[in-house]
Structure 1
Amino acid sequence: MIKRYALLVLIALSVWCCKKGTTTIDGEEIKPVVKPDSAGITSAVIQAKNNTGKIAADVTCTISGTDITALVPDRMLVKKLALTFTTRTANTTVKVGDTTQVSGVTITDYTKPVILNVTSATGDVKTYTVKFKVFTGLPVLYITSASAISSKDNYVKGSVIIDANQGFTQEVNSMTMQIKGHGNSTWALPEFKKKPYKIKFDSKIMMLGMAAAKDWILLANYDDKTLMRNYLALQLGKRLGADFTPDCRFVEVVLNGEFVGNYLLTTSVEVNSNRVAIKELSDKNTSDSEITGGYLVELDQKLDGASWFRTTKNLPFVVKSPDAPTAKQLDYIHNYFQAAEDALFSADFKDPDKGYAKYINPDSFITWYFTNEIFENDARDFSSIFYYKDRDGKLNMGPIWDFDLSAGNINYTPAQNPTGIWFIRDATWMIRLAQDPTYDLKVRAKWAQIREKEVKQIFTDIDQTAAYLKLSQQENFKKWPILDQYVWPNAVWLGTYDKEVAYMKDFLQQRINWMDANMGSW
């Protein structure tokens, strides 16, 4: 009985040692024998000869663990390909579902990730996930328009096919839509050869994992040679909690069969449950309580809209939503803005009950402020400065918008210098708010809160985005060779993409350092 017990203990110890991965003989460590991976795939190639008319040259896949990946330089729309592969051992079976894959012969649709089930002759099984991306690896929008897109006022009919390129969720890939030009100087100036666009669907559509809506914007970023100022600012806005910051995705755009460059696909600035989520006003909302909101209003010196007003400080505001306010609604929002301005510039402006705090939400203003001041954006009393007021609510700022002329990418305002001034603070309303000690304390407290994490993250964002756009920016500037050319209103034009990114990064570092040093005198 004792011998039997001892034998069981010895067996248990042996098993435990095996589980730990080692055992010893006379004190010397003996490692267990590792069984060969008989079901492995050792190479995978997309060969041009087996995919005639689809790719121009062979593409070697990367095998990492159980992932097989490839980037096909061609802009193919349909990824039905034959994969040439070799296996570790002979008589190995490779299947996709129930379909046996014959190397270099079987055509498989790789639009979405494909699971390869590999079984060796000895019964070993291994599963691989195959992901093929095309062109630069970014999502690709294939847009077809019924006629030339020649106006930012009139839509033309068209369609779009969306290749998410295995980067984002896309439930519907092909749909009809309307398209027109977008922007002001970016659309109107003839030297801006790469044009921005606005897309409108008949119903709400989810785009690349972004919440569904009818309206979408394709920003060209033509005068921003980093292609990323808008993206970086929107990322910062989200981290800071700026109100209703738009979502965005980098995409490649093929228009009527022609590659037209890298674009930033963004949600539009509009009242919508997935955009600026406030009450929508209709002409039937006429009671005194209903007309208190919601409104989306833009400070816009261009007066780009049918319904607008000026305050006594000569600030022009355009009502963006509702599209056609009734006379009573327009009077209400005009009077509310004027009352807020009067309170702000009154002798009692610091009073929490009589002053500006009766009309505006300071926290919303401060978050909007920092996103624009850090980037020293061209957003001082000119345009793309949005406010919203929900029903029975106070006035708030947002969404943030339009950062292509920021971070030193401008040559006609003091904002071309990263140090020396509080650029956004000196706007008409902002400079008055800064004179309130309570508001001043809130600003300094916000800076202390965001400085070491959210603000520092900008520089990680720059490095990661530059790496992500490496192939895309190369293709973009092949199409638009402007890296060594002045494009209005560039402060510099440095000849290479890397130098443009380094210039922007240095500008922002100087800007943030200056804000650090001068926050005490804000």
Structure 2
Amino acid sequence: MHIFITSFSTRINTCTLKALRVFFIVAIILSGCKKDKKPVVTTDPPADIYMTFEQANNQGKIHEYVICKLQGDTLNGVLSSLQDTTKLLAPSFIVADGSTLKVNGIVQKSGVTINDFKKPVTYTLTRADGTNKNYTVNITRYSGLPIFYLTTASPVVSKDNYVTGTLKVDVNDSPYQQDVTSIDLQIKGRGNSTWDMPKKPYRLKFNKKTGMLGFPAAKNWVLLANYADKTLMRNAIAFEMGKQFGADFTPSGRFVEVVMNGEYIGNYYMTQQVEVDPNRINITDIKTTDNTGDAVTGGYLLELDQRLGEVNYFYTTHGLPINLNTPDNTTTDQFNYIKQYIQDTEDAIFAANFADPVNGYAKYINVDSFIDWYLVKEIMKDNDAKDYSSIYYYKDRNGKLGMGPLWDFDLAAGNTNYSDCQYPTGWWIMNSTWFQRLFQDPAFKAKVKAKWNELKGQKLPGILTFIDQTAKQLDLSQGYNFQRWDILHIYVWPNPVVTGSYLNEVKYTRDWLSQRINWMDQQISTW
């Protein structure tokens, strides 16, 4: 709860000041049940308005005493309730003697006049001397992020079996479009190590394709928990980087609050599922009848995954486990085709003439796609991206092998204590099986350098700005999340540091990435 105490215009008389002193004392007492322990005394210039929202004047709508904090010409208040409300509220206010407040020309009465605070409301204050000043009143419910209310027929306890349920979407104070707000669905757990953590990630499967928070309609969506990532944003940072770099089929996401069966379970990152779809991985949807000629050449979605998470998989001669994600019902001809294509690709990479621009590896791979994927993963220094898991490839019909989409970054950017990925210096992805060989080609290395030099002017500094903006966006949400999951002061596997606060977690990650980018820039400049 924000407490705002400031000096008022000298036009306020002595009696009013005495009344204000009593008012502030009462306000401080009433605010004792809120998260702020002490009143915050501002040093802003003298102001001539003070606004609160009181339970007595808003029966059945609010259950707390809300004091608005003045920032410039904006009065900001926060309702801590997760329950939906029309926000038709009557504020109480104090203004200097002789001043009046109006909204759209209507005189306001303190504690009586009702306004709709779903959107910011502009109050015009007319002083005794006839001068006017506009104040914008902005009331945020909870964190201001969209709120997902999930109701399930039974507890979600499995990554394998779906549970039926419904999702109600409240866009809250966010700017996102949501036409359908009540959605029938199935839900199950997801993830590998993340599923074993207290805060669980989930897979949502809608009964009908539905657009979500401004994203195109689809059935499959993911709720990433980011439990071990105490910034809550490493995946968002990587996806933003991927979009800025032009990495193929980078997913999009939104931060949301999630309430499951009446219980608040934290801040989540809702993302698009990795799947072949015109609005996601836009490649040819191969059918079971596509077994010969051009038809059998695509499209395929594959994952290098040591866990062997798919039914159909094979090993290359260099020991890389390639899982066939799509198509689901793979025919023998399709399996044999893509297995041979991947092996031909690997053979070309390790051939004596591998650097030949016509008959070498460039005959089989989309070099630019590989470089864009590589740079994001190398900057983030994702531990699993060195031949372990979540390494996606795609091959469209009559196309070359490309890399993407990017995925799985909660343990990246210095958030791993069991490998050299903890440190912002040193190459990582460059030392993986295929990339180690590709970097032996001077032409490939030159293309990586050219792309880096293209990015470092604006794109890379923009990532650090994105971190700052996202931390600001999550300011309220992270507070609620870490009230629910009180882990900022304790070790969570595999954190290399325990910083003790959200802002320190963000600073650690931002500093780590800044050092990483500087180190890579110094190395690449010598090529």
Is TM (by shorter chain) over 0.5? yes
Q: Shift of residue 266 of structure 1?
A: 0.8
Counterpart position of 2:368 = 363
Q: Map of 1:314-333 to 2, 5 A cutoff?
A: 314-333=319-338
Is the contact between residue 256 and residue 270 of structure 2 (CA under 8 Å) also seen in structure 1? yes
Counterpart position of 1:74 = 81
How far apart are the structure 1 equivalents of 2:400 and 2:213? 34
Q: 2:377 aligns with which of 349, 352, 372?
A: 372
Q: Map of 1:88-487 to 2, 5 A cutoff?
A: 104=111, 110=117, 112-113=118-119, 132-167=139-174, 168-187=176-195, 189=196, 192-378=197-383, 379-419=385-425, 421-487=426-492
Is 167-176 or 73-82 further displaced after alignment?
73-82
Secondary structure of 1:383 counterpart: coil
Secondary structure of 1:57 counterpart: coil
Secondary structure of 2:268 counterpart: strand
CA RMSD of aligned residues (A): 2.8
Is the contact between residue 101 and residue 108 of structure 2 (CA under 8 Å) also seen in structure 1? no
String of CA shifts for 1:237-288, please: whole Å, max 9, x gaps.
1111111111111111111111111111111111111111111112132332
Is 446-455 or 512-521 further displaced after alignment?
512-521
Q: Shift of residue 68 of structure 1?
A: 7.0
TM-score by length of 2: 0.83
Is the contact between residue 136 and residue 471 of structure 1 (CA under 8 Å) also seen in structure 2? yes
How far apart are the structure 1 equivalents of 2:101 and 2:144? 32
How far apart are the structure 1 equivalents of 2:427 and 2:125? 66
Cα gap change, 1:119/1:450 in structure 2, threshold over 3 Å: closer, same or farther?
closer
How far apart are the structure 2 equivalents of 1:322 and 1:131? 49
Secondary structure of 1:211 counterpart: strand
Is the contact between residue 253 and residue 263 of structure 1 (CA under 8 Å) also seen in structure 2? yes
AA of the residue aligned to 1:136: S
How far apart are the structure 1 equivalents of 2:70 and 2:512? 40
AA of the residue aligned to 2:144: G
Q: Shift of residue 377 of structure 1?
A: 1.0
Is the contact between residue 46 and residue 83 of structure 1 (CA under 8 Å) also seen in structure 2? yes
Is the contact between residue 115 and residue 127 of structure 1 (CA under 8 Å) also seen in structure 2? no
String of CA shifts for 1:161-217, please: whole Å, max 9, x gaps.
111122122222222111110101111x2xx10000111111221111122211111
Where does structure 2 lack aligned partners over 5 or more consecutive residues? 1-47, 127-131
Counterpart position of 2:13 = none
How far apart are the structure 1 equivalents of 2:371 and 2:353? 21
Is the contact between residue 180 and residue 198 of structure 1 (CA under 8 Å) also seen in structure 2? yes
TM-score by length of 1: 0.83
Cα gap change, 1:126/1:283 in structure 2, threshold over 3 Å: closer, same or farther?
farther
Counterpart position of 1:26 = none
Query: How many residues end up aligned between the 2 structures?
Result: 472
Counterpart position of 2:35 = none
AA of the residue aligned to 1:415: C
Is the contact between residue 46 and residue 81 of structure 1 (CA under 8 Å) also seen in structure 2? no
Q: Shift of residue 348 of structure 1?
A: 1.1
Q: Shift of residue 433 of structure 1?
A: 0.6
Is the contact between residue 54 and residue 76 of structure 1 (CA under 8 Å) also seen in structure 2? no
Cα gap change, 1:81/1:296 in structure 2, threshold over 3 Å: closer, same or farther?
same
Secondary structure of 2:211 counterpart: strand
How far apart are the structure 2 equivalents of 1:322 and 1:50? 60
How far apart are the structure 2 equivalents of 1:504 and 1:128? 37
How far apart are the structure 1 equivalents of 2:71 and 2:500? 37
Q: Shift of residue 82 of structure 1?
A: 2.6
Q: Shift of residue 60 of structure 1?
A: 4.0
Is 52-61 or 488-497 further displaced after alignment?
52-61
How far apart are the structure 2 equivalents of 1:230 and 1:118? 43
How far apart are the structure 2 equivalents of 1:513 and 1:90? 56
Secondary structure of 1:312 counterpart: coil
Cα gap change, 1:320/1:60 in structure 2, threshold over 3 Å: closer, same or farther?
same
Counterpart position of 2:9 = none
Secondary structure of 1:484 counterpart: coil
Q: 1:50 aligns with which of 25, 49, 57?
A: 57
Secondary structure of 1:492 counterpart: coil
How far apart are the structure 1 equivalents of 2:370 and 2:113? 60
Cα gap change, 1:162/1:291 in structure 2, threshold over 3 Å: closer, same or farther?
same
String of CA shifts for 1:489-512, please: whole Å, max 9, x gaps.
111122222222222122212211
Secondary structure of 1:227 counterpart: coil
How far apart are the structure 2 equivalents of 1:500 and 1:117? 39
Q: Shift of residue 375 of structure 1?
A: 1.0
How far apart are the structure 2 equivalents of 1:383 and 1:275? 20
Q: If you compute each CA radius of gyration, which structure gives the higher value, 1 or 2?
A: 1
Q: Percent identity?
A: 49
AA of the residue aligned to 1:412: Y
How far apart are the structure 1 equivalents of 2:125 and 2:503? 47
How far apart are the structure 2 equivalents of 1:201 and 1:118? 46
Is 166-175 or 431-440 further displaced after alignment?
166-175
Q: Shift of residue 46 of structure 1?
A: 3.1
Secondary structure of 2:154 counterpart: coil
Is the contact between residue 101 and residue 123 of structure 2 (CA under 8 Å) also seen in structure 1? no
How far apart are the structure 1 equivalents of 2:414 and 2:513? 8
How far apart are the structure 2 equivalents of 1:128 and 1:483? 37
AA of the residue aligned to 1:388: Y
